Amino acid sequence: MTYCKTAGSGPNRKSTTLTAPLFARRGAPPPSLLHLTMTTTLESVDLVADILRLKKERNAVILAHNYQIKAIQDVADYVGDSLGLSYQAKETDADVIAFCGVHFMAETAKIVNPEKIVVLPDKDAGCSLEESCPGPELEAFLEKHRDKNYYVVAYINCSGHVKALSDVICTSGNAVRIVEHVPADRNILFVPDANLGAWVMEQTGRKMDLWQGACYVHVEFTRDSILKIKEEFPDAPVVAHPECTFAVRLLADEVCSTEKMVQYCRSHPAQSFVIVTESGMLHRLRRELPHKTFIAGPTDRCACADCRFMKMNTLEKLHRCLDTLQPRLEMPESLRQRAEIPLLRMLEWSR
């Protein structure tokens, strides 16, 4: 997952040759190992410098989600959650938005700011929540249940097609507020995340019908894995994302979006926190709050949780997309216009 692994295969690969005797004299690690480390470091410096050059040439802005690898977070102009990224995408003066996140996030940027060229490092970076609610299935469901006259609240982790079928969009950062705005006489259908939807029902007391989608990363945290880490670090508050299951949310001291995790840990007097979300968040927290300690909430299987989609992006791919302006987000204008309505409603309701 780390940058070091991928740096050796990028388009800008430059070899720095250091000879074996030099290493031997200084009693350094074996040449092969040190050669790899130094080559990688010099390459990453070159690659970052060239990304910055391209960014300037293209008048681009680099937006990155909190789950991106450290190297991408460090080169980005803005790192944040889905809500913050949507505002940044809408308000930027840049000509090009290089969106380092997953596909639905870049698509959202294009929907709210269609004049811009929106590129993403890897067009195949999807999302299990988006997959769990295909547009045609939602369309058929709404048709079948016309009598319910649903007000559809869609979590932003969904396709443009699903957004176009919805009345309002929400993120984990504003879901409670958005649902509180929905007219009281309407039945709500919440798609696609059943865990986030259940959490919003707990917070608002508003009944909703829930689409049964889930994030494959967050459901890996279990009651047992969190109980174990709490035993090990009894003084560390547990901070969990609302995409986690009910059993895990019950054990958390705070349930919130990734951006609110930064605010919570900043203002809380504790020195250590258990963070129950995707692993990239740890870098963001350690960078913002270097004097505090962040412990990765474990799953039953491993010490930290990586989203394979978020981790498809690398510095090389970011460099390439800035260089070639491909892959680029394109969508039919009629679909974009339809999807823009619930997104703008969200931005307005969460101000």
Site size for ligand SF4 (CB under 6 A): 13
Handedness of CA 181, 185, 189, 195 (dihedral sign): positive
Give the nearer residue to ligand SF4 in terms of CB position, either 94 or 256: 256
Give 19's contacts (C-beta < 8 A, 6+ positions apart). 31
Give the nearer residue to ligand SF4 in terms of CB position, either 7 or 346: 346
Give 314's contacts (C-beta < 8 A, 6+ positions apart). 3, 6, 10, 69, 71, 72, 121
Give the nearer residue to ligand SF4 in terms of CB position, either 99 or 309: 309
Question: Distance of CA 276 to CAs 81, 217, 241, Å?
Answer: 15, 10, 6
Rounded to whole angstroms, the Cα distance separating 311 from 101 reads 9
Closest CA to 255 of 274, 269, 238, 241: 241
Type and span of the H or E element at 19: none
Footprint on residues 218-257 left by ligand 13P (CB under 6 A): 241, 243, 257
Structure-token pair, residue 271:
């020195």
Rounded to whole angstroms, the Cα distance separating 108 from 105 reads 5
Give the nearer residue to ligand 13P in terms of CB position, either 161 or 218: 218
Give the nearer residue to ligand 13P in terms of CB position, either 242 or 327: 242
3 binds, among ligand 13P, ligand SF4, none (CB under 5 to 8 A by kind): none
Q: Is 166 a binder of ligand 13P (CB under 6 A)? A: no
Give the nearer residue to ligand SF4 in terms of CB position, either 43 or 243: 243
Rounded to whole angstroms, the Cα distance separating 230 from 208 reads 32
Q: Contact letters (x/-) for ligand SF4, 141-180, by CB under 6 A?
A: ----------------x-----------------------
Our CA dihedral for 232, 234, 240, 244, rounded to 10 degrees, sits at 60
Provide the minimum distance between the beta carbon of 159 and ligand SF4 in the complex, in angstroms, as a whole number. Answer: 12
Rounded to whole angstroms, the Cα distance separating 94 from 117 reads 9
Q: Is 307 a binder of ligand SF4 (CB under 6 A)? A: yes
Count the residues in the chain. 351
Which position among 122, 259, 278, 316 is part of the footprint of ligand SF4 (CB under 6 A)? 278
309 binds, among ligand 13P, ligand SF4, none (CB under 5 to 8 A by kind): ligand SF4
Closest CA to 317 of 127, 123, 126: 123
Site size for ligand 13P (CB under 6 A): 12
174 binds, among ligand 13P, ligand SF4, none (CB under 5 to 8 A by kind): none
Which position among 94, 208, 215, 274 is part of the footprint of ligand 13P (CB under 6 A)? 215
Q: Is 310 a binder of ligand SF4 (CB under 6 A)? A: yes
Rounded to whole angstroms, the Cα distance separating 319 from 60 reads 12
Q: Is 195 a binder of ligand 13P (CB under 6 A)? A: no
Give the nearer residue to ligand 13P in terms of CB position, either 173 or 192: 173
Residues interacting with ligand SF4, by CB under 6 A? 102, 127-129, 157, 215-217, 243, 278, 307, 309-310
Residues interacting with ligand 13P, by CB under 6 A? 66, 81-82, 157, 171-173, 215, 241, 243, 257-258
